[in-house]
Structure 1
């Protein structure tokens, strides 16, 4: 056997020297060659510890046999399994001091599964050493196996549990706590109510019982030790048995862990969740049956995928094993557990059985097949729709034999549901619905079911098609059958159901009949190419014909709007020969009428003749109906693009054929104009139509305006729009048309709307022209006189300007005064000149500052107009009186006494405003 698979050993105690030290002390004194020194120091030395019980140490007990040994097991970080035992040594090599001796086996990870699955290889080891003479060397052999008592049997579990005071509840709590601790952070501390010397042995017996009840996945993680002096956490130990009396509460460090203090019957953190735990119940009931426990653990381990994935599942250990235990019991024959929760059990199996793992989980495979086969054999059992879901999941990775069986089961379940349900096929629909996600399965089930019970398939098809409540849902339904089971589409029963549904949908959508028919027709028209199913072309032609016939048969012509008619393009644009041949005489008349209306409403420039021909084919009554439909269709959508279409609503085929201007009109122009005006109120569209008509030959006659249209236009403006040409935009639009004849007509109409004076002048232009020539010289003289009368009279009369001057103070302390004056000569000269002290101060009116000298100052003001006439000068006296104690520039304002100086002066010293008046003869007068 290679070294990688051999078991290594290590001895640890206090001696004269060790492997890692040359002086006395605790150290590894011997080891197997395969043990790495670093591993010994980091992984083994922390677990080479022993402290004797306080009860024995306190009494100075020297008998080593009375000290409990400590059996420990843990899983190292590298995956190796370490099994060790530490014992008390009363005297060391000196003969004076006590010590301890630890012997540890290191089982390589490749072999530890042997120990995990067989507890006796751990708890019945006979090869532990209690001492070692270092003179024998520091190397001890590697082992092929650990010596253990394979033939012995553990003590009866009930005897051990009774002796330790452990009942069903406490046992399950112990088991649950250890399972949770292996995957969590809480430690489990146990103090047994036994004599200290027997405590380790009793702990080992209890641990063996519990260990045999633990799943393999938990065993691969769990570490324990059967004796410690007091609660003290170690990394890889999850369960620790401690000396009686060492669990002392309250202790904040301990209270967060799980405590079983049997001497004081004090248990902390041990309560089980308030749920049913099948796993705990099963192992308790089978605690005496190692083989039953082994089978359960083998089943669970296989379900979890073995060693590789068990750790991931262990994180939810108890719920996982509760579920697996239920499946195991069903496998063992407790089918009542399945019958109480059929769907839940099947889903539980698939929690662990997947496409990737199915090949390695034969027990679950067999169980799943056994259960759904049982369901099929039970002739009275109709599974629920939810039950189908796990079967479909299993089908996706099952072998061919199982898939064939499942198809038969599906068909059987559906037929059973349809035949036993009070609602007939409706009872089987939920089962069908669960198959819809897998086209291959559905196709296979339908094929098998049709071969055995064809009526069931026909009823299901009819049910689904009937359930389509709208056109879109029906289209979706057709797409479903074409994708999932197109072989049924060509069956006669399927076609009959589709034809019946088409009629119902078209008649049900009264408000949207045309749209519904168009959607259905378009779908079947494109279906063969879009779905690449050319073999359906004949069938689709049949469906299209039925859609057209049903649409025509029930159509209500007075209710059709613009969109309704346009949406009938599928049969009106180019009616199929099959449709025409299938119609009776009444149907053909309806088709012709609709085609005529459709061609008018879809009129393109240059195709007017097609529209006219379609209308000409109609009889008088149908023509009237067609034109009424056109008017209704265009009433709320009139625009420039529709002008040509509207015209055909007032077309009289055959009228006006002899080119006589006064024969019957080909178009009813009066009604045409009134229709447009009525439906375009508050817009300019009626005028845009008139401008448009000027370029359309239907409104012209030779080189002029059609006489009937001319009269209609004049009547329209006279009756309905007598003020139209007062609007500049209307004038510009109509008078600016390129057609001269129409422009002249519009000018004529404009004149008809003009005031009487304008019309009078327009009708008597020549006479008014002659009068104008004669009156022109006289008017010219009048104009000249009005322009030059004032300058001429002024030159003749030569008026003298009148001067007005505001009052000036007689006495002031200010060095300046302001002269304000204005002059006028009656309007002959608008702005006479004004002079102050002989200097020109301004024109018309002035405001001029005059500097004063100390003492009396004389200010002279006069005015002169452009005719050379000068007003009489006005002279003002102003005394500048500056106080003696102030310089002239600091003089203060003088205050007039008794009102003197506050009034205006004059040339004669009078009060008020001095005026120099000049008479027409040039002589001045004094005020």
Structure 2
């Protein structure tokens, strides 16, 4: 279709049957840019006429008795179709009934002119009629403008209300039904008592008044027709005036729809509470004072930018916008009735394209300025959440002073901590509030109470650590804040004191500080006390291998953090654990050096604990390091003790491996050979007692071991074996001689 010009279509129907679509029904004239598909889908269904029942029954021949039928629809393609149908009955049996329909098709890009000005729709000056049939050409011109008459619809209100028996409540119900029908794709069927010639007039008047108080978004979809014999579902038609007496609730067409039988005062389908709809009251007051609502509707258009279609259509949206509209005029009556609901409304409308909604942003500023702080404890939490949510959207509005004053107002009350918890979820504003309060001395006590709560015992250690990080990141001045330092230090030290496994707690703290806190000054002031408390609490006899590793990572990897003095028993604990960490986790050369430099009591205690850890974990290798735990070390090792220890706490394979290794190191040492021989012979756990182990020992390539094993074998043999080994040859000779002596005489006698 033409992009900006108004198109036209004219249809006639000369056949006898009004509802036939066969011979006689045709488009006789059309503008060049009206396509056939559009005609078939959208225009043909409305190119019809319904004869009033009594006229049809009486066979009335007077053309003037048949009222015109006005229909307008807005297909999903966006156009606005305005049509008028006229009917002429056949004058004799040989003639046919005549139908004439003239439609104007307003292109979508021009439609707003008609949406904003209802006179353009309801007071069009010219439609072609039956009398023009013979003068029409097949192609109708595309036109730029439609002329319309200027009439004062408000002057007709009194007559309309009287004839249709309308009052305030019914008008509000009708307006509610029309707006809801568009939003929910329903239908409104209206019937009233009037003569045929007046029925069309009153239907047009009522439609215009209803249209006048529909929001623009509703108007953009609304469709209506002024007369049908009975209710019928028609696409894109929301309001249908029907013949009196035709509304029957059993008719499927009216099921779940809105029906208004005004002459019988019967209304169905409404779930309507008048007091819940401020917009309807606003609209009716405007009607009473003959006022149009274009200023309000333009305001709504701006407020609704970016929101979804359904929100723009629902009547609840306009109830909300009406309240905001009044607030803009500094009327806070509705706001004071429900402050939270008002902010909820503001948030909904500001969430999209808020930069184009300066009026709403201004209302938000005015509300905060008017309140100064929220003194109503029953709503303060919800109110603060909404203030923060709106500020998060609009950004540039300063809410800090309002929040600070509100928190200060509730200082000392239980709700105060709830307000802080709400604020914490909005980091940017939270930071601004903390900075603001930290800079003003009068708020020092509030900050102190808040910090104490953040590090109180109701929070877990992990939560406390997160709170420390968040607060330092939000307000770096806390790094040197005395209250902050004292509160955090006391809580962390207490955490170490109360825990049965303090080293794991300190490791968690130190690890978190190293990974998550770049605040070096703060760490230097807090960690020494935490580490010092660990040394106080630590019980050496309960230390395991993981504890040793944690100790090294806590104390030995960051040398610059050892900025505190260790004395007494805590110093001894430190030195013992330092030796243990060196033993298990550093190179052998370094371990050997540290063991040599340590005092004898410290070394002895460390060796004792290391041996206990080895028992639990089987960490014998490397054997060079293992031997450091025994008197004499590598140079003068007490081999008997080593063999005894491995025999008790090691496996048979461990002993075999150690023997093979130690033969290479000490195989020529008489002390070693004696200790090994003694172990193999006398120890109750000796691997010599196991056949498989004997074979494994014998397979080791060592001449000294083979010699030693021979001695072990001899000394561990049973007495019979020993006797046989000593006198075996002599015994064999004696036996042989005895046998020969016995048999010789016999053989000789033969």
Partner of 1:540: 523
Partner of 1:758: 721
Partner of 1:189: 189
Partner of 2:600: 618
Superimposed CA distance per residue, residues 151-191 of structure 1 (whole angstroms, 9 cap, x where no aligned partner): 52334646534532445555444334333433545433322
Alpha-carbon deviation of 1:220? Answer: 0.9
Partner of 2:437: 449
Question: Judging changes above 3 Å, is the alpha-carbon distance between structure 1 residues 132 and 33 closer, same or farther for their aligned structure 2 residues?
Answer: farther
Gaps of at least 5 residues in structure 1 are 17-23, 658-665, 784-927
Partner of 1:480: 470
User: Which of residues 395, 398, 401 in structure 2 aligns to 1:408?
Assistant: 401
User: Which of residues 684, 691, 695 in structure 1 aligns to 2:663?
Assistant: 695
Partner of 2:506: 517
**CA–CA distance in 1 between the matches of 2:742 and 2:315?**
126
Alpha-carbon deviation of 1:66? Answer: 3.3
Question: Judging changes above 3 Å, is the alpha-carbon distance between structure 1 residues 774 and 646 closer, same or farther for their aligned structure 2 residues?
Answer: same
Are the aligned partners of 2:84 and 2:101 in contact in 1 as well (CA < 8 Å)?
yes
Partner of 1:115: 114
TM-score, structure 1 normalization: 0.68
SS in 2 for 1:694: helix
SS in 2 for 1:71: strand
Aligned counterparts, 1:201-212, within 5 A: 201-212=201-212
SS in 1 for 2:153: coil
User: Which of residues 648, 662, 684 in structure 2 aligns to 1:720?
Assistant: 684
Aligned counterparts, 1:11-50, within 5 A: 12-13=11-12, 43-44=42-43, 46-50=45-49
2:315 is the counterpart of 1:352: no
Gaps of at least 5 residues in structure 2 are 16-22, 744-750
Partner of 1:793: none
**CA–CA distance in 1 between the matches of 2:664 and 2:529?**
42
Are the aligned partners of 1:68 and 1:196 in contact in 2 as well (CA < 8 Å)?
yes
SS in 2 for 1:351: helix
**CA–CA distance in 1 between the matches of 2:191 and 2:45?**
23
Are the aligned partners of 2:14 and 2:96 in contact in 1 as well (CA < 8 Å)?
no
2:592 is the counterpart of 1:609: yes
Partner of 1:902: none
Superimposed CA distance per residue, residues 648-688 of structure 1 (whole angstroms, 9 cap, x where no aligned partner): 5542689x98xxxxxxxx64845x555544445xx426743
Alpha-carbon deviation of 1:56? Answer: 1.9
**CA–CA distance in 2 between the matches of 1:652 and 1:470?**
49
Are the aligned partners of 1:182 and 1:238 in contact in 2 as well (CA < 8 Å)?
yes
Are the aligned partners of 2:375 and 2:406 in contact in 1 as well (CA < 8 Å)?
no
SS in 2 for 1:705: helix
Question: Judging changes above 3 Å, is the alpha-carbon distance between structure 1 residues 604 and 641 closer, same or farther for their aligned structure 2 residues?
Answer: farther
* Matched residue count: 734
Alpha-carbon deviation of 1:409? Answer: 3.1
Are the aligned partners of 2:588 and 2:625 in contact in 1 as well (CA < 8 Å)?
no
Aligned counterparts, 1:251-266, within 5 A: 251-255=251-255, 257-262=257-262
**CA–CA distance in 2 between the matches of 1:377 and 1:674?**
80
Question: Judging changes above 3 Å, is the alpha-carbon distance between structure 1 residues 341 and 557 closer, same or farther for their aligned structure 2 residues?
Answer: farther
Partner of 2:359: 363
Partner of 2:572: 589
**CA–CA distance in 2 between the matches of 1:182 and 1:292?**
21
Partner of 2:18: none
Partner of 2:729: 769
User: Which of residues 612, 631, 649 in structure 2 aligns to 1:632?
Assistant: 612
Partner of 1:660: none
Partner of 1:820: none
Are the aligned partners of 1:425 and 1:459 in contact in 2 as well (CA < 8 Å)?
no
Superimposed CA distance per residue, residues 32-77 of structure 1 (whole angstroms, 9 cap, x where no aligned partner): 7876788667654543322321212322333433332222212245
2:492 is the counterpart of 1:502: yes
Aligned counterparts, 1:182-331, within 5 A: 182-248=182-248, 250-255=250-255, 257-262=257-262, 267-272=267-272, 276-284=276-284, 286-291=286-291, 293-305=293-305, 311-314=309-312, 317-331=314-328
**CA–CA distance in 2 between the matches of 1:685 and 1:427?**
64
Question: Judging changes above 3 Å, is the alpha-carbon distance between structure 1 residues 493 and 745 closer, same or farther for their aligned structure 2 residues?
Answer: farther
Superimposed CA distance per residue, residues 4-43 of structure 1 (whole angstroms, 9 cap, x where no aligned partner): 6555555555799xxxxxxx96666666787678866765
Alpha-carbon deviation of 1:103? Answer: 4.0
SS in 2 for 1:635: helix
SS in 2 for 1:194: coil
Question: Judging changes above 3 Å, is the alpha-carbon distance between structure 1 residues 249 and 587 closer, same or farther for their aligned structure 2 residues?
Answer: closer
Higher relative helix content = 2
Superimposed CA distance per residue, residues 806-846 of structure 1 (whole angstroms, 9 cap, x where no aligned partner): xxxxxxxxxxxxxxxxxxxxxxxxxxxxxxxxxxxxxxxxx
Are the aligned partners of 1:704 and 1:742 in contact in 2 as well (CA < 8 Å)?
no
**CA–CA distance in 2 between the matches of 1:46 and 1:524?**
76
Partner of 1:818: none
Question: Judging changes above 3 Å, is the alpha-carbon distance between structure 1 residues 292 and 488 closer, same or farther for their aligned structure 2 residues?
Answer: farther
Question: Judging changes above 3 Å, is the alpha-carbon distance between structure 1 residues 104 and 730 closer, same or farther for their aligned structure 2 residues?
Answer: closer
Are the aligned partners of 1:687 and 1:730 in contact in 2 as well (CA < 8 Å)?
no
2:553 is the counterpart of 1:570: yes
Are the aligned partners of 1:30 and 1:134 in contact in 2 as well (CA < 8 Å)?
no
**CA–CA distance in 2 between the matches of 1:711 and 1:163?**
129
Question: Judging changes above 3 Å, is the alpha-carbon distance between structure 1 residues 509 and 207 closer, same or farther for their aligned structure 2 residues?
Answer: same
SS in 1 for 2:72: strand
Question: Judging changes above 3 Å, is the alpha-carbon distance between structure 1 residues 772 and 365 closer, same or farther for their aligned structure 2 residues?
Answer: same
User: Which of residues 511, 536, 542 in structure 2 aligns to 1:559?
Assistant: 542
Superimposed CA distance per residue, residues 865-887 of structure 1 (whole angstroms, 9 cap, x where no aligned partner): xxxxxxxxxxxxxxxxxxxxxxx
Aligned counterparts, 1:674-753, within 5 A: 674-679=644-649, 683-684=651-652, 687-688=655-656, 691=659, 694-695=662-663, 700=666, 703-706=669-672, 709=675, 713=679, 718=682, 720-721=684-685, 725-738=688-701, 740-741=703-704, 744-753=707-716
SS in 2 for 1:408: helix
**CA–CA distance in 2 between the matches of 1:157 and 1:675?**
112
Are the aligned partners of 2:673 and 2:708 in contact in 1 as well (CA < 8 Å)?
no
Between stretches 37-46 and 62-71, larger displacement belongs to: 37-46
Partner of 2:79: 80
Higher relative strand content = 1
**CA–CA distance in 2 between the matches of 1:781 and 1:304?**
136
Question: Judging changes above 3 Å, is the alpha-carbon distance between structure 1 residues 779 and 175 closer, same or farther for their aligned structure 2 residues?
Answer: farther
SS in 2 for 1:51: coil
Are the aligned partners of 2:232 and 2:253 in contact in 1 as well (CA < 8 Å)?
no
Are the aligned partners of 2:188 and 2:258 in contact in 1 as well (CA < 8 Å)?
yes
Are the aligned partners of 1:502 and 1:547 in contact in 2 as well (CA < 8 Å)?
yes
Are the aligned partners of 1:53 and 1:229 in contact in 2 as well (CA < 8 Å)?
yes
Question: Judging changes above 3 Å, is the alpha-carbon distance between structure 1 residues 350 and 581 closer, same or farther for their aligned structure 2 residues?
Answer: closer
**CA–CA distance in 2 between the matches of 1:169 and 1:550?**
78
**CA–CA distance in 1 between the matches of 2:220 and 2:476?**
55
User: Which of residues 364, 370, 373 in structure 2 aligns to 1:374?
Assistant: 370
Alpha-carbon deviation of 1:735? Answer: 4.2
Alpha-carbon deviation of 1:340? Answer: 4.9
**CA–CA distance in 1 between the matches of 2:437 and 2:579?**
52
**CA–CA distance in 2 between the matches of 1:103 and 1:577?**
94
Alpha-carbon deviation of 1:565? Answer: 2.5
**CA–CA distance in 2 between the matches of 1:510 and 1:255?**
74
Partner of 2:104: 105
Question: Judging changes above 3 Å, is the alpha-carbon distance between structure 1 residues 470 and 749 closer, same or farther for their aligned structure 2 residues?
Answer: farther
**CA–CA distance in 1 between the matches of 2:274 and 2:695?**
94
Partner of 2:426: 435
Question: Judging changes above 3 Å, is the alpha-carbon distance between structure 1 residues 612 and 11 closer, same or farther for their aligned structure 2 residues?
Answer: closer
**CA–CA distance in 1 between the matches of 2:595 and 2:667?**
19
**CA–CA distance in 2 between the matches of 1:394 and 1:15?**
64
Alpha-carbon deviation of 1:228? Answer: 2.2
